[in-house]
């Protein structure tokens, strides 16, 4: 079966099964993450109190952990929920937002990786390099690394070292399980004008992880859902419209996404 056909089947599975995606995420983008999961066909829940995270993740299809707005209370909840998910075989996805911005963020991310087995880690090039102990340039939560074909090798090496699927998103996107690398070439610069498109992408990855054990495919499907929908949203903007209209249209396009869009629009290269 061609890879685009597999993406089509994954999207159908999401809409049929409506996976419950448990989030412990940041308060800047929490509403957008919930809406994007609903738009693609999943069911979001945002629960971060340490007294209920184990119970909540026990009924979920996947868990998304996002360190965008850290505090000591939610870190302990992340660890507790992640360990419970691991015990139950529920996939856990990590978004190491701004991991290089402060020592506290880096220490937290490394602790999470040490104590939790992640199905997918999605970040920009700087975030992924920092997690792997490589030198990287970042400013706040943004990468100052130039995304070149070297990112392909970074994705592969880091996936092997971290024993997970690694997804590096940027102008092009690189997804690897340590053996295979998928290079995705959809998207638009307008995605950088809206807060939280990275967080939303991670939520989409978590949604697809809730319906398959092929986490390489799930990560790529989540990224393509965002990048293709971004293209379609941008194409429909008028000259009088800007980033606010783009944000609304983006969610609309995720809602309207069809399996055939992967066949017609998806730009995917597999590299062994």
46-100 pLDDT tens trace = 999 999 999 999 999 999 999 999 999 999 999 999 999 999 999 999 999 999 8
| Dihedral sign of CA atoms 217, 35, 83, 28 in order | positive
Q: Which residues of the chain have pLDDT under 50?
A: 140-145
* Structural domains present in the chain: 3-271 (3.40.1190.20)
pTM: 0.94
pLDDT reported for residue 272: 61
Judge whether 196 is annotated as a binding position: yes
Judge whether 123 is annotated as a binding position: no
Chain centroid offset of residue 232 CA: 20
pLDDT digits (tens, 9 = 90+) for 145-168: 455 568 899 999 999 999 999 999
Among candidate residues 83, 104, 82, the one with its CA nearest the CA of residue 94: 82
- Helix 243-256 with 215-235: angle, nearest 10 deg: 130
Beta strands (DSSP E) in the chain are 20-24, 43-46, 62-66, 92-95, 120-123, 138-139, 142-143, 165-168, 173-176, 181-184, 268-271
Judge whether 69 is annotated as a binding position: no
Q: What are phi and psi of 108, to 5 degrees?
A: -65, -45
Measured at the alpha carbon of residue 95, what is the angle toward residues 59 and 100, in degrees to the nearest 5?
150
- CA–CA distance, 130 with 167 (Å, rounded to integer): 14
Q: Hey, which residues does 143 pair with through a beta bridge?
A: 138
Judge whether 46 is annotated as a binding position: yes
């Amino acid at each position: 079966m061609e890879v685009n056909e597999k993406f089509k089947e994954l999207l159908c599975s999401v809409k049929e099964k409506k996976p419950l995606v448990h989030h412990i995420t940041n308060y800047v983008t929490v509403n957008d993450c919930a809406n994007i999961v609903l738009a693609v066909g999943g069911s979001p829940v945002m629960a971060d109190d340490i007294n209920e995270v184990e119970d909540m993740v026990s009924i979920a299809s996947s868990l998304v952990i996002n360190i965008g707005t850290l505090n000591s209370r939610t870190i302990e909840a992340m660890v507790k929920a992640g360990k419970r998910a691991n015990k139950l075989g529920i996939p856990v996805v990590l978004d190491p937002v701004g991991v290089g911005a402060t020592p506290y963020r880096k220490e937290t991310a490394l602790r999470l990786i040490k104590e939790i087995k992640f199905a997918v880690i999605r970040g920009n090039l700087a975030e992924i390099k920092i997690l792997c102990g490589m030198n990287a340039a970042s400013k706040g939560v943004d990468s100052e690394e130039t995304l070149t074909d070297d990112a392909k090798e970074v994705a592969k090496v880091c996936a092997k070292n971290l024993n997970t699927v690694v997804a590096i998103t940027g102008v092009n996107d690189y997804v690897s399980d340590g053996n295979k690398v998928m290079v995705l070439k959809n998207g638009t610069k307008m995605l950088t004008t809206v807060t939280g498109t990275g967080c939303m992408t991670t939520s989409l990855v978590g949604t697809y992880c809730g319906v398959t054990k092929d986490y390489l495919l799930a990560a790529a499907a989540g990224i393509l859902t965002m990048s293709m929908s971004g293209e379609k949203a941008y194409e429909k903007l008028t000259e009088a419209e800007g980033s606010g209209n783009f944000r609304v249209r983006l969610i609309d396009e995720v809602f309207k996404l069809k399996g055939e869009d992967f066949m017609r629009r998806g730009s995917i290269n597999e590299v062994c």
